[in-house]
Structures are given as C-alpha cells and as structure tokens.
Structure 1
Amino acid sequence: MLTHPSGRRAVLRAGAAAAGFAAAGLPLLPRAAQAAGTLNLVLESEVVILDPHATTAAITRTFGYFVWDTLFAMAENGAIRPQMVREHSVSADGLQWRFTLRDGLRFHDGAPVTAADCVASLRRWMPRDPLGRMLQASLASLEAGDPTGFTLTLKQPFPLLLDVLGKPNAPVPFMMPARIVEAAGSARITEIIGSGPFKFRPDLWRAGASMTLDRNPDYVPRDEAPDFLAGGKRVKIDRAVLRVISDDATSANALTAGEVDYVQYLGFDHLASLEKARGVELMGLTGIHMFQGNFRLNHASGPFADPAIRQVMWHLVDQAAILQAIGIPARFARADCPSFWMCDAPLESRAGSEPARYDVAAAREMLKRTAYKGEPIVFLEVSGSISQTAANVLAQSMKEAGFNVDEQVMDWGTVLARRGNKEGWSLFPVYSNGVDMVSPLNHFYIASTCADYPGWSCDNRIPPLLQQFAATGTPEERRRVADDIQRIAYELVPSLMWGQFSRPAGYRDRMKGLIRSSFPIFWEVSV
C-alpha cells in the first residue's frame, strides 16, 4: 500500500524537483494546465532524429507511433492485426495480395490518405530495413489502384508478409504522404506530417528542453478495444509534452512531486522510495516487454576475429552477477536466460547453449590454447549507464582469465561513431527492447549476419536459414529453424547475452487507462 510523503520530506522532494526543472531549463506547468488534459512525459531520451525510416533508434520509433500510422500492427499476443487496412485478400497461390484502406484516414494537413501514399511509403521503407529488403527481393510489383486500394504481387510466396508490414521493430513501416516522400528523395524528411493519433507541433519544439504533441481531432480510431499497438487508439488527452530530463534523480523527484506524470525508465536505486511515494505507481513488465542485454563483438579485426578466442567469452558472462551489480531487483529480472530469442517468449530456446556456463578457470585454460598473445581488448563503455556496470563486471572476469582489457569510457553517441569503424574496438555493451530480439528476422545481431553492420559477424549458413524461416508457414517449423540458427550463433558468437530484465516505468495515479507496455503508449489514457 502506498504511503503519503508528509511534512518536511514532501517539501524537500517538491523543492528538489523544482530545482531540477530549473537547472534543466524546464518551466513548471501550473496544476490547472495539467488538469486540463496535458501530460508531462519523460521518455528514454530526447527525440533528435524525427524521420522514423532513417534510424533504428527506439526513441524515434516511439515518436513515430505518436505521429504516424501503420497498415498492420502487433497485438499483445504477438498476432498481427489490420490497422489502417480495412480488408485484404490473397490469391490461392499466395502471390497476389490486395489491400483496401479503411474510411476516414486523413493526414494532419487535411489531405486524405490514399493508396498512392502507402505505395510510396513502402517503396521508401523497404530498402532501409532488413525485413523490408527480404520483402523487396520477393516483390514482382507494388501498384496503387483506386485511391483506397493497392496490390502487392510476389515472385514467390512470402508467408511472413503481414508480419513484416505490422512489425514493431525499427525502422517501422509508417505511412507518409507521397508528396513528402518524393520531396525528400534519399534525404531525411523535414516536414513531419502523419495520420496518427497525435500531431507534432514544430512551433512549440524546444530542442534540449521539450517537444509538444497535440491530440489529432480528425483521427478515426478502429472500432475495437486497444491491444498493444493494435486496435482502437482513442486519444482522451489534449496534449503530450515530452520533457528532456537526462538525470534519474531529477526525473524521480519530479515524478514524486507531481511535476511530471510519467517517466519511462526509472533508476533502480530510486525504486524503493518511489514505491512509498503517494500517487506514484510502478509498471514492471515480463516476457517480450523486457530488455535483452548484449555485448556486441567485433569480428572484423582484433582478437575477436579469431573464432577460438570468441568461444572463450561464453565462460565469462555471469548474468546473475551483472544484474545484481546493476541493482536490478529479482522481481524485474531473469537471472539466467540462454535464449537469443528471449525467455518467456514464443521462440525461447536452449539449443546450442551448452557453452554458456560461467567458469573463469575453464576460460583461462581455453585462452591458453588459442593464438591470443596479450593484444589489447578495447572495451567501449557508455558512461554512467547500466550497460557500463555490465561491462565492468565482464571486464573483471576477462582480466582474471588472462585478457588484456582496455576499458574506454565515453557517451553513447561516441560509441555509435566508433563502432562504425572496423578497427579500434573489440566489444561494447548495449540493451534492447525484447520485441526487437524475439525472432531471428529482427534480432539485431542475427538478422544482420553477413551484412555491412557494425560487428560484421558472418556465418554463411545463417542467411539461407533466415530465408527458410521467412518462407516457413507453420509455428512448429519456424521454431525448428530458429533452433538451428541459434546453434550456429553459439558457434559464431555475434554477441553475448548479459541478462534479461525490465526497467520499470513510473506514473502518477491520476493517469487512468495506461496500457502496460515497454512502448510508451498514451492512447486510452485519461486524467
């Protein structure tokens, strides 16, 4: 049961929040403004890239689901359901697909959404996305008919077509006006016009401070209950303000004081106090809504270009110790998950995972039998992040096993720049949304096998299996192929899983109807 932070403690918390907002240059909104239907939200980071086809950044995907809409969308159970599409049909041979848009779809500038817009959007998105490229390779034609219908014709059956059109993995196939797509060419779009439930307000955008999204009064939701990213999206608030607060303590204090309504990721060391704060609720998640931590290895140069040296690493990852060092409470973590495709998920697997056994002594003996001669292992670490803590734990085990580890601390932007070079680094830590890791087709380090993707892991057996997985029609067969891919991945070592966990969100209990999801979703929310 929640207790009330009364007296001097409540005053101090409110003061700390106000000081934090002042330091961040963020104006405090009066309570009356909040009560009128404005939500103040602190998401994982600032939205910097606004073009959702141009990046795999999760924050841009989140922004995308506010502003744009998709032809199909994923429900909580993983099923793909129509979203902008009213109905579709497929020929007996599985090659010709016809799609009809539902009534009432309009862009934020008032123009109707047409089949030509959808065709232009798909043609722009396909070459930018791994699954989109697989679809493009199977495509014979994609043509608009009347304004509400278009036809997609395949060269060979592609059973996962709807899964690809409705996938939540970035870059998401969001639908844009054809005129904006054509004006952008190969560059990023500059005019942010979607047909989604919220409208972006460029006139109120303050880089480094806040971004404003207003309810789209012309949005026509599906006549269904909301279901994760699918179903009816009924917006009941007038405005969402995305506040930029990078400090965990400041955002936690602001949440406690009621100056913000929602914080996407809470610092684990603040959970105990927030659980006692009056008016604050925590959202812990399981299964596909959890995160998967990974250490990505560089196969292109340095010691990890040697497969034998990579194999040693499976004995040096202690998931339980890493999660404990980060401070993740047991109820928000899976301490031992060997599955590339997440645990408590449809394709959970232990296939090939026998090497994943923490044993520093065994690693030391294995390393002696390799060609390793003490070359530096350059470990890129993200300053102040939970992934840096994960890196520190692994680095210590590596040193005990006989590796010469060079830990280099920097911000995430620098890591992104450094990892683009094939030389100068050996590994880096990262964690990703579970929905991005639950299948071989979207797992960053499997789907990119033998592609020009930082890390450059390649086993020529995997790409044909990915094609086989996409062409397989039954869940049982997909699971078998996924197991085969995982066995090879354990030999290849594209990455090392350092744990599965949930980062709880916090929200004020004045928010009613908040959908439980690792994606920040605010349709159906009332205040």
Structure 2
Amino acid sequence: MKTIRRGVLASVAMLTAWMPPIWPAGGSSRAGEARAETITAVLEAEIVTLDPHYIGAYITRTFGYMVFDTLFAPDSEGNTKPQMVQSWTVSDDQLTWDFTLRDGLAFHDGAPVTGEDAVASLKRWSTRSALGGRLMKVAASLEATGAKSFRLQLKEPYGLVLDTLGTTSSPTPFIMPARIAATTPGSTQVSEIMGSGPFVYSRADHRPGDRMLLRRNAAYVPRPEPADFLAGGHVVKADALDIRVVPDGATAAAALQQGEIDYMQYAPFDLLPAMEKDRRLKVLNFAGAHMFTGHYRINTASPPFNDPAIRRVLLRLVNQEEVVAGLGLDSRYGQSCAAFFICGSPYESAAGTAPLKDPSIEAAAAALKATNYDGTPVVVMAASDLEAPRVASTILADRLARAGFKVDLQMTDWATLLARRTNRQGWSVYGVHALGLDLASPLTNSVINFNCTSAATAGFMCDERMVPLFDAFARAPTREAQREVAGQIQSIVYEQGLGIPFGQFAQPAAYRAVLSGVIPSAIPLFWNIEKK
C-alpha cells in the first residue's frame, strides 16, 4: 500500500546540509556524467526486491517496467496493445494462439529474446499471479515454436488471453531469459537481474539505502508508435535515471523546490498548494484507474461482522465525502465513488449501490437496531504510519460508536496490522487503499479475488455465488459481457457487505518544469521525457 506522508518543509539551510551532491565527487569516469541528460527521481519507497515476479509490491513493478519488457501493454484508454509481440493469430475455435516477437529484441547481455524466453517467463510468473494462474488452468500447453515465436493451446475459449498477457496487475508478466526463469522457481528470488527493457540495471550502480542508477539501454529498439501510457514506443531521451532514497516526503519536496531532484512520485497533500503556485514546478494529477481507492476490509469470520445483516449497516454508515475531506483533499484530488470496481474504469457499475447513497448516522442506527447485534466490541485497526488508512479508520470508529456499536479503536503500525489480519480473531475492520489499475477488474481486485480460498486474508470471505462468476468473467467474449458479470459480482459484494469503499483519490506527482513529455501515469514512467 502507498504511504501518504505529511510533514513540514525543511529549511533551505537544513536541506543544503542534508542533501549529498547529485553525483559523487572524485575523479572516476562516472563523475563526468552529471549533465542535463540525467533525471533524478524520488519514488514512493526504496527499491529493495528486484525480482519482478517474486512479490506484488508496487515499487518492484515500477522497477520492472524500467528494466524489463512485456509482451502486451495497455494504452491510456485501457486497450491492450502489442509491445514485444509483432503479430499473433487465433484459430477459428479460439483455442490456438500463435505469437511472433518483433525484430530487434535483446537482453542487456546482448542475447536475443526468443520464444523460449517468453514461455519460461510466463510459466514462472503464473505461479505467483492469480491472473496468470487462471490462464494456465485453461491452457493445454504453452511452448516455443521457433526462435521468435510461441504457441498457447487452450482447453476451452478464454476471453482474457491478451488482457492477461498485458496486465499491469502486480506481479506483472515481465520477460526474462529462459536460463534464469526456467531454473529459478517463483518461490525463490532470481540472483541475476537481466531484462530487455529501456533501462539497464547494474549492481555496481546500486547503493542500497542511498541510490540506484539505471542507464539508458542504447541497444533498445522501441516500437514505432508514439508513447501512450505503457503502449507505444518506450523512447528514453535521458542518459540515466538516478533514483534517490529520501524517506521523508517534506525533505523530498524541499529538494524538488531547490532543484536537487527532478521528480517525486508522491507530493505531500499539505504541500500541494505551494507547489501549484511555484512556476518552477508542475503537479501531475490523476483520474480514473490512476487514482487510489480506499476500502474497509471486514473480518467475516468473527463476531459481530460474521453476520451479514450487521455488515450491511456499514453501507449506510460510511460517508466517503467525510473521509476525503479528512484527508485534506478538494474535488480535484478526491471524490466519492460507489462503484466497487472504481469510477472511470471499463467495469464501473451502479448495480447494488443504492444502500451506499445518502449515508447517515441515524439510518445506520435504525438499521443496527433491526439486527441481532449484542454489543460485541468492534475492533477497528488503524495504521498509525499510513495517513489515508489512519484517517479513514479513525473516522469509521467515531461513526460506528455514534450509530450504537461498542468500539475498540486500536492504533498499530502497518506491518503489525498485516500480521494481525491473518488471524480470525482479534480484529473486526480496518481501512486500506490500493491503485485503481489493480482494483478495476474482479480478477485483480485484492479485496475479493481470493474469495473462498485459503489465501482470503482480507477477511476470510466466502460467497459461493461469486466463484462461477469469476470464471464467467474470464470467459466472457466481449467487454460488454464482462461488464455485466462484474455488475453481478458487485451486487453480491454489497448485498453481503463484504467490502465498503471509503473514497477514490489521487496522490499527485510533482516534477520540475524543466522536464517535458512526462506521461500521465500513477506508475512512474521515465521514457518520453526530455530535460531542458
């Protein structure tokens, strides 16, 4: 989850004393590379895990898009477009898919990318991805058919083949050499980071806890189309990307204002007004799937919320406008959204949303009196080190108490909260948020996509009606058919009170006005950018 940090601006004197020079002093050859073609960035967190298949951390996905490449990728309209793939064919019965890679693809060690590399990478990735696992369940075989080609043979038609191969859901299907992917199980991190993407990683340029330098891949052959989100040509116009580790958001903002860095992924909310007035800076807002959506996750295995009637009271209680206002956001950056698969996505729906409209303490209190609630305490966990979950959980605790619940608000750090939520006892509800790109589909929505499985750690939910609907969604032949199934799933979620949204909001990026060509993306992308 993404940390929203607040703070006060460090003074210029403190900033000057704290910030090391952009490039190390000394007579090494690298010192001479400190020129305008180097973009210096501060991301949401330090990049610690480099294996792009191993975990679903957003920061690892960001690293993956810089160093690796994908077979397909979405454009800004959500359409899946070919990336490493040049062409593909589908048999009349929709069971045989043949793919051919485009010319010029090579790994950073110079080895050409082959069909065997694509097959080995997809097989490894699918052991870690719920979406990839679904595809493999309907696959009869996946094998290379030539130096630059491979074939996917299905047991039955599957409507999400291209969407799966081009998903942004993390972990993402990045391609790595077969010699690495085929010999390293997904449960073990790879020891060699070898991609074919537009930037090159070298351990010699990585100082954990301080910085990571990614160099432009001079041998990279981009697609000819203009860049369009993750689709199109990934043309890198800078010589290097210098990623700095600056844990404090206020310190990073001060560094941005003083020109010590060029880009920060998350601009602190309370500093946005000052940044918007600074002509040296630009603030990049996001909409739709590039916004975050917050949800209250509910423990359905333990009283009192093991009773769906009591869970449904929350539908009448949660006031999204109050939470968004509590985050200090105006209408440009935050909004109410009743659509479980987020507003602005292809699967936005009003199905089952009537109880979420016009929330009030009085309506919730009346609904609670009609249930069998016996005064069992509602244990609300609040992540003290994450601003949005903390604010959302604190507001919920107050409204629960005013509606007649007995409430036990417990502050804890996020790591402890994650450990506690795996237990069926000891907690009732907590707030959390995730990126809309990952929540927009039933198959990647982390609130419900582990429904009725042993991995259902976000509340142990199980509604057997949703199980065949997930399969129906995956097999639906058109977007319209998928939207219909998504609406049915949403209706069940709200009917059973399995997840309650608390608002949709953006956390803008900020960058120096000397940068142009920045792609509007909640996943930081550093191709197409020029630095004056």
Tell me which of 416, 419, 422 is aligned to 2:421. 419
**Structure 1's 482 and 12: CA in aligned 2 closer, same or farther, altered over 3 A?**
closer
Q: What's the counterpart of residue 453 of structure 1?
A: 456
Q: Distance in 2 between matches of 1:473 and 1:116?
A: 29
Q: What's the counterpart of residue 274 of structure 1?
A: 275
Whether the 8 Å contact between 1:17 and 1:259 is mirrored in structure 2 is no
Alignment of 1:102-121 (within 5 A): 102-121=102-121
Whether the 8 Å contact between 2:180 and 2:190 is mirrored in structure 1 is yes
Q: Distance in 2 between matches of 1:182 and 1:372?
A: 54
Q: Distance in 2 between matches of 1:39 and 1:15?
A: 24
Q: Distance in 1 between matches of 2:269 and 2:180?
A: 42
Q: Distance in 2 between matches of 1:375 and 1:63?
A: 45
Q: Is structure 2 residue 446 aligned with structure 1 residue 444?
A: yes
Q: Is structure 2 residue 148 aligned with structure 1 residue 148?
A: yes
Alignment of 1:123-522 (within 5 A): 123-185=123-185, 186-334=187-335, 336-357=336-357, 358-384=359-385, 385-451=387-453, 452-454=455-457, 455-522=459-526
**Structure 1's 110 and 421: CA in aligned 2 closer, same or farther, altered over 3 A?**
farther
Of residues 267-276 and 149-158 in structure 1, the stretch that sits farther from structure 2 once superposed is 267-276
Whether the 8 Å contact between 2:388 and 2:433 is mirrored in structure 1 is no
The letter for the 1-side match of 2:432 is V
Of residues 83-92 and 408-417 in structure 1, the stretch that sits farther from structure 2 once superposed is 408-417
The letter for the 1-side match of 2:296 is F
**Structure 1's 119 and 256: CA in aligned 2 closer, same or farther, altered over 3 A?**
same
Q: What's the counterpart of residue 48 of structure 1?
A: 48
CA displacement 1:167-203 (0-9 Å, x = unmatched): 1111111111111123322312121111111112212
Q: Distance in 2 between matches of 1:106 and 1:378?
A: 53
Q: What's the counterpart of residue 528 of structure 2?
A: 524
Q: Secondary structure at the match of 1:69?
A: coil
Q: Distance in 1 between matches of 2:517 and 2:301?
A: 48
Q: Distance in 2 between matches of 1:423 and 1:20?
A: 45
Whether the 8 Å contact between 1:316 and 1:363 is mirrored in structure 2 is yes
Whether the 8 Å contact between 2:294 and 2:432 is mirrored in structure 1 is yes
Whether the 8 Å contact between 1:97 and 1:152 is mirrored in structure 2 is yes
CA shift for structure 1 position 372: 2.9
Q: Distance in 2 between matches of 1:80 and 1:125?
A: 19
Q: Secondary structure at the match of 1:183?
A: coil
Alignment of 1:34-113 (within 5 A): 35-113=35-113
Q: Distance in 1 between matches of 2:346 and 2:194?
A: 36
Whether the 8 Å contact between 1:14 and 1:256 is mirrored in structure 2 is no
CA shift for structure 1 position 407: 2.4
CA shift for structure 1 position 427: 2.0
Of residues 258-267 and 489-498 in structure 1, the stretch that sits farther from structure 2 once superposed is 489-498
**Structure 1's 18 and 294: CA in aligned 2 closer, same or farther, altered over 3 A?**
farther
Q: Distance in 1 between matches of 2:501 and 2:255?
A: 34
CA shift for structure 1 position 409: 2.4
CA shift for structure 1 position 464: 0.7
Whether the 8 Å contact between 2:317 and 2:363 is mirrored in structure 1 is no
CA shift for structure 1 position 88: 0.6
CA shift for structure 1 position 418: 2.4
Q: Secondary structure at the match of 2:100?
A: strand
TM-score by length of 2: 0.92
Q: Distance in 2 between matches of 1:111 and 1:194?
A: 10
Q: Secondary structure at the match of 1:330?
A: coil
Q: What's the counterpart of residue 5 of structure 1?
A: none
Q: What's the counterpart of residue 17 of structure 1?
A: 15
CA displacement 1:409-430 (0-9 Å, x = unmatched): 2332222222233333222221
Q: Secondary structure at the match of 2:520?
A: coil
Q: Distance in 1 between matches of 2:14 and 2:75?
A: 40
Structure 1 portions without partners, runs of 5+: 1-10
Q: Distance in 1 between matches of 2:447 and 2:32?
A: 48
Whether the 8 Å contact between 1:457 and 1:492 is mirrored in structure 2 is no
**Structure 1's 379 and 229: CA in aligned 2 closer, same or farther, altered over 3 A?**
same
The letter for the 1-side match of 2:169 is N
Whether the 8 Å contact between 1:293 and 1:429 is mirrored in structure 2 is yes
Of residues 488-497 and 398-407 in structure 1, the stretch that sits farther from structure 2 once superposed is 398-407
Of residues 74-83 and 342-351 in structure 1, the stretch that sits farther from structure 2 once superposed is 342-351
Q: Which has the higher helix share?
A: 1
CA shift for structure 1 position 19: 4.3
Q: Secondary structure at the match of 1:128?
A: coil
Q: What's the counterpart of residue 4 of structure 2?
A: none
CA displacement 1:222-251 (0-9 Å, x = unmatched): 111111001100111111122222222111
CA shift for structure 1 position 13: 5.0
Q: Distance in 1 between matches of 2:348 and 2:134?
A: 24
Whether the 8 Å contact between 1:195 and 1:219 is mirrored in structure 2 is yes
Whether the 8 Å contact between 2:388 and 2:432 is mirrored in structure 1 is no
Aligned length: 512
Q: Distance in 2 between matches of 1:378 and 1:352?
A: 27
Q: Distance in 1 between matches of 2:121 and 2:289?
A: 28
CA displacement 1:253-296 (0-9 Å, x = unmatched): 11111111111111111011111223100011111211111111
CA displacement 1:331-366 (0-9 Å, x = unmatched): 1122x2100111122221111011114121222232
Q: Distance in 2 between matches of 1:70 and 1:318?
A: 40
**Structure 1's 48 and 374: CA in aligned 2 closer, same or farther, altered over 3 A?**
farther
The letter for the 2-side match of 1:319 is Q
Question: What do you get for the CA RMSD once the two structures are aligned?
Answer: 1.9
CA shift for structure 1 position 20: 4.8
Q: Distance in 2 between matches of 1:486 and 1:437?
A: 12
Q: Distance in 2 between matches of 1:324 and 1:201?
A: 44
Q: Distance in 2 between matches of 1:159 and 1:485?
A: 18
Q: Distance in 2 between matches of 1:263 and 1:32?
A: 24
**Structure 1's 422 and 147: CA in aligned 2 closer, same or farther, altered over 3 A?**
farther
Q: Distance in 2 between matches of 1:156 and 1:401?
A: 50
Structure 2 portions without partners, runs of 5+: 1-8, 25-30
Q: Secondary structure at the match of 1:184?
A: coil
Of residues 424-433 and 463-472 in structure 1, the stretch that sits farther from structure 2 once superposed is 424-433
The letter for the 2-side match of 1:140 is A
